[in-house]
């Protein structure tokens, strides 16, 4: 027989776990700082409180309504939150929770500062649920939330969230609309937190505005960071431990806050990944133990078969790649009078350029010539001031980056922007995900066991990364990261690939193999534009070269023509003099 005190603590642990998992979706998965999760928990709690007390609605009807209202709250507060990021978002969410709290106090219908009391017990078929029954209900809810979280993490949506968390700009350039997925994260996280609020309201039978204010929100954030941000086990462990801790330390109850604060500082100093985070000491211990166990099991049973791509799949995928868009020398991209000003500075001035299919076009120029800005305009990461860009004769310069990417322009970055915490394979899968991330329902499909795995493996094979597929990309050397960015862009099945100084910082051998890769991509039907400083590489690899200087296109032509072009030589010598 468990005492009802123990039941109380267990139930609270379950409720806080649900809330923590809600915040985990927003902050852990999608990487959006949110210090105001109390808003959503409070929305759920107040919704069910009002529905069951003032409207006299049954709990089982109030529950879905409250969840819907919380979801709507997540969506509505997510909209303005899209305008800010990182620290500003953090402070903005603090603002939300304070405003929410005062609205509850000030507006009528919410019971003012004393809140709403006499929230009924939950009943099934008219009989009141016992304390054990309520704990069971909370555990069922927790199970459902865990299952939903696992499902989401393994869906394309989860991959999109991870991409946004790791690098939002890069996410847009692989065709994922980051704003939309941030909104999904807010909405889903808010629903989970709202569920926690409903469970809290029917457990304490009393809600006040202060239950869901700033400090409770912070406590929930602390739970997920404490346990390990972005992991289910971490969120649950954090919630349970930090609910249990004040009870365990009750014998020194006068010092509990001090211990709590000191523990946070200490943990952040010595184990910033959280107790059970992916990189934490404890978790690595567990993983290595697991690995040893697996090795032992493997020795006992037969070793596992390595992943292999079926021949049929290979053919099918090859068929899908733009190989078929021959003949060559069709014009695929065109810029007309393309201009971009930053204040008084004209970074790109009146540039007209045509790009033909399956060519390798080099963009060169001294430092500050506007080459990267030019790429940024083509990929839509910054808007142009005037002029236009046409892809296959359609104007694309008004489109946002993810739409441009979806039309088949992939790119890499001068300073690499891989999704550092994801494995190499997941980076490539993220590149593929754009085609599933156009609608809500599609993005819920699972990515682990799909034919897209075959495509990803094929891309890895092409780019020579197959051997590294399970490595976390943060640990790769620069040469492989540059390849990884190309591999990720290939996930789009692009017609045009923009390579921004992909050769810089590479050894001779690495350059050589990258040149082979670029050539092979062209053979497979892609068109390539590349910015390069290394003249040797440029001359060797490019079919044509365009030269930019101070934002102007000063020359265009075959490599040997450019080599001897007087204006180009003057520009380079000039810049050499300046430098």
Answer yes or no whether residue 285 interacts with another protein by CB under 8 A: no
Judged by CB under 8 A, the residue of 139, 169, 179, 204 near another protein is 204
Answer yes or no whether residue 9 interacts with another protein by CB under 8 A: yes
Min separation Cβ 89 and another protein, Å: 9
Specify whether the CB–CB gap between 298 and 501 falls below 8 A: no
Q: Which is nearer to another protein, 61 or 88 (CB)?
A: 88
Q: How far apart are CA 361 and CA 339, in angstroms?
A: 20
3-state helix, strand, coil in the chain (%, to 5): 60, 10, 25
Specify whether the CB–CB gap between 34 and 26 falls below 8 A: yes
Specify whether the CB–CB gap between 180 and 187 falls below 8 A: no
Min separation Cβ 237 and another protein, Å: 16
Three-state SS annotation for 29-59: HCCCCCCCCHHHHHHHHHHHHHHHHHCCCCH
**DSSP element (H, E) containing 308:** none
Answer yes or no whether residue 570 interacts with another protein by CB under 8 A: no
Bridge-based pairing state of the strands 345-356 and 331-342: antiparallel
Q: Which is nearer to another protein, 200 or 419 (CB)?
A: 200
Q: Which is nearer to another protein, 118 or 299 (CB)?
A: 118
Cα 203 from chain centroid (whole Å): 35
Answer yes or no whether residue 427 interacts with another protein by CB under 8 A: no
Answer yes or no whether residue 262 interacts with another protein by CB under 8 A: yes
Min separation Cβ 354 and another protein, Å: 33
The candidate with the shortest Cα–Cα distance to 226, out of 523, 467, 28, 429, is: 28
Judged by CB under 8 A, the residue of 57, 65, 72, 91 near another protein is 91
Q: How far apart are CA 413 and CA 237, in angstroms?
A: 38
Phi, psi for residue 123 in degrees, rounded to 5: -125, 155
Stretch that binds another protein, among 244-252, 284-292, 449-457, 476-484 (CB under 8 A): 244-252
Taking residues 385 to 414 in sequence order and writing x for each that binds another protein by CB under 8 A, - otherwise, the string is: ------------------------------
Question: DSSP assignment of 107-133, as one string?
Answer: STTTTGGG-B--PPPPEETTEEP-HHH
Stretch that binds another protein, among 198-206, 331-339, 391-399, 497-505 (CB under 8 A): 198-206
- Pick out residues in 336-355 that bind another protein (CB under 8 A): none
Answer yes or no whether residue 576 interacts with another protein by CB under 8 A: no
Phi, psi for residue 62 in degrees, rounded to 5: -65, -35
Peptide linkage before 327 cis (omega within 30 of 0)? yes
Bridge-based pairing state of the strands 544-549 and 552-557: antiparallel
Q: Which is nearer to another protein, 284 or 540 (CB)?
A: 284
Eight-class DSSP state of 179: H
Contacts of 454 (CB under 8 A, 6+ apart): 309, 310, 313, 314, 317
Specify whether the CB–CB gap between 22 and 40 falls below 8 A: yes
Stretch that binds another protein, among 219-227, 393-401, 484-492, 509-517 (CB under 8 A): 219-227
Residue 122 region by backbone torsions, left for phi larger than 0, else alpha for psi between -120 and 50, else beta: beta
Answer yes or no whether residue 144 interacts with another protein by CB under 8 A: no
Answer yes or no whether residue 117 interacts with another protein by CB under 8 A: yes
Q: Which is nearer to another protein, 204 or 346 (CB)?
A: 204
> Which two tokens mark 15?
């409720």
- Going from the C-alpha of 537 to that of each of 375, 533, 565, the distances in angstroms are 19, 8, 18
Q: How far apart are CA 252 and CA 248, in angstroms?
A: 9
Answer yes or no whether residue 221 interacts with another protein by CB under 8 A: yes
Bridge-based pairing state of the strands 386-391 and 331-342: antiparallel
Answer yes or no whether residue 88 interacts with another protein by CB under 8 A: yes
Q: How far apart are CA 540 and CA 109, in angstroms?
A: 74
Q: Which is nearer to another protein, 205 or 435 (CB)?
A: 205
Judged by CB under 8 A, the residue of 75, 120, 180, 247 near another protein is 247
- Going from the C-alpha of 473 to that of each of 39, 225, 394, 478, the distances in angstroms are 36, 23, 36, 10
Judged by CB under 8 A, the residue of 250, 299, 319, 508 near another protein is 250
Judged by CB under 8 A, the residue of 60, 109, 255, 296 near another protein is 255
Q: Which is nearer to another protein, 96 or 190 (CB)?
A: 96
Min separation Cβ 225 and another protein, Å: 5
Answer yes or no whether residue 329 interacts with another protein by CB under 8 A: no
Min separation Cβ 80 and another protein, Å: 5
> Which two tokens mark 552?
């102007």
Answer yes or no whether residue 206 interacts with another protein by CB under 8 A: yes
Judged by CB under 8 A, the residue of 257, 323, 446, 536 near another protein is 257
Judged by CB under 8 A, the residue of 166, 168, 211, 454 near another protein is 211
**DSSP element (H, E) containing 76:** helix 59-81
Judged by CB under 8 A, the residue of 56, 87, 126, 344 near another protein is 87
Min separation Cβ 83 and another protein, Å: 4
Answer yes or no whether residue 115 interacts with another protein by CB under 8 A: yes
Judged by CB under 8 A, the residue of 66, 73, 160, 222 near another protein is 222
Stretch that binds another protein, among 245-253, 455-463, 503-511, 551-559 (CB under 8 A): 245-253
The candidate with the shortest Cα–Cα distance to 207, out of 82, 125, 301, 101, is: 101
Judged by CB under 8 A, the residue of 144, 150, 248, 558 near another protein is 248
Answer yes or no whether residue 114 interacts with another protein by CB under 8 A: yes
Q: How far apart are CA 206 and CA 116, in angstroms?
A: 6
Q: Which is nearer to another protein, 307 or 342 (CB)?
A: 342
Q: How far apart are CA 25 and CA 34, in angstroms?
A: 10
Answer yes or no whether residue 568 interacts with another protein by CB under 8 A: no
Neighbours of 154 (CB within 10 A): 15
Number of amino acids touching another protein (CB under 8 A): 68
Eight-class DSSP state of 155: B
Answer yes or no whether residue 198 interacts with another protein by CB under 8 A: no
Answer yes or no whether residue 264 interacts with another protein by CB under 8 A: yes
Q: Which residues bind another protein (CB under 8 A)?
A: 3-5, 8-9, 12, 27, 33, 80, 83-84, 86-88, 90-92, 94-96, 98-99, 101-102, 105-106, 112-115, 117-118, 200, 204-206, 208, 210-211, 214, 218, 221-222, 225, 229, 246-265, 268-269, 272
């Amino acid at each position: 027989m468990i005492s009802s005190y123990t039941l109380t603590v267990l139930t609270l642990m379950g409720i806080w776990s649900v809330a923590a998992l809600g915040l985990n979706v927003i902050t852990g998965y999608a990487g959006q700082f949110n210090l105001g999760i109390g808003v959503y928990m409070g929305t759920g709690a107040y919704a069910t409180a009002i529905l069951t007390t003032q409207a006299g609605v049954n709990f089982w009807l109030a529950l879905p309504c409250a969840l819907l209202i919380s979801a709507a709250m997540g969506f509505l507060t997510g909209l303005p939150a899209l305008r800010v990021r990182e620290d500003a978002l953090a402070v903005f969410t603090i603002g939300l929770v304070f405003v929410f709290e005062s609205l509850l106090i000030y507006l009528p219908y919410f019971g003012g500062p004393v809140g709403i009391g006499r929230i009924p017990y939950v009943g099934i078929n008219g009989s009141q649920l016992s304390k054990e029954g309520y704990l069971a209900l909370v555990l069922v809810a927790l199970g459902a939330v865990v299952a939903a979280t696992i499902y989401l993490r393994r869906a394309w949506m989860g991959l999109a969230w991870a991409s946004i968390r790791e690098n939002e700009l890069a996410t847009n350039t692989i065709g994922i609309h980051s704003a939309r997925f941030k909104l999904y994260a807010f909405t889903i996280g808010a629903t989970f937190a709202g569920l926690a609020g409903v469970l809290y309201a029917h457990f304490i039978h009393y809600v006040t505005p202060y239950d869901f204010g700033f400090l409770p929100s912070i406590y929930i954030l602390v739970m997920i960071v404490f346990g390990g941000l972005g992991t289910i086990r971490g969120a649950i462990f954090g919630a349970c431990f930090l609910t249990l801790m004040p009870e365990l330390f009750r014998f020194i109850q006068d010092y509990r806050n001090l211990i709590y604060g000191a523990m946070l500082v200490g943990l952040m100093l010595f184990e910033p990944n959280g107790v059970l985070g992916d990189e934490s000491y404890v978790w690595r211990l567990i993983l290595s133990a697991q690995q040893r166990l697996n090795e032992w099991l493997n020795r006992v049973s037969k070793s596992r078969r390595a992943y292999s791509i079926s021949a049929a799949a290979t053919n099918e995928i090859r068929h899908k790649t733009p190989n078929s868009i021959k003949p060559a020398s069709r014009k695929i991209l065109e810029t007309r009078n393309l201009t971009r000003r930053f204040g008084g500075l004209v970074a790109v001035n009146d540039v007209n350029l045509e790009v033909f299919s399956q060519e390798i076009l080099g963009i060169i120029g001294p430092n500050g010539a506007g080459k990267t800005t030019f790429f940024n305009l083509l990929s839509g990461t910054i808007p142009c001031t005037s002029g236009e860009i046409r892809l296959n004769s359609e104007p694309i310069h008004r489109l946002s980056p993810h739409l441009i990417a979806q039309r088949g322009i992939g790119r890499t970055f001068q300073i690499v922007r891989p999704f550092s915490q994801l494995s190499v394979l997941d980076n490539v899968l993220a590149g593929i995900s754009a085609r599933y991330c156009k609608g809500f329902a599609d993005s819920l499909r699972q990515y682990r066991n799909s034919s897209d795995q075959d495509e990803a493996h094929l891309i890895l094979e092409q780019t020579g990364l197959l051997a590294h597929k399970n490595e976390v990309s943060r640990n790769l050397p620069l040469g492989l990261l540059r390849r990884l960015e190309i591999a990720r862009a290939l996930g789009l099945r692009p017609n045009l690939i923009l390579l921004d100084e992909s050769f810089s910082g590479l050894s001779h051998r690495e350059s050589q193999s990258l040149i082979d890769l670029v050539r092979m991509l062209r053979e497979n039907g892609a068109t390539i534009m590349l910015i390069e400083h290394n003249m040797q590489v440029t001359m060797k690899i490019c079919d044509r070269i365009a030269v930019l200087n101070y934002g102007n296109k000063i020359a265009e032509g075959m490599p040997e023509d450019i080599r001897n072009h007087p204006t180009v030589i003057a520009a380079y010598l000039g810049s050499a003099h300046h430098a």
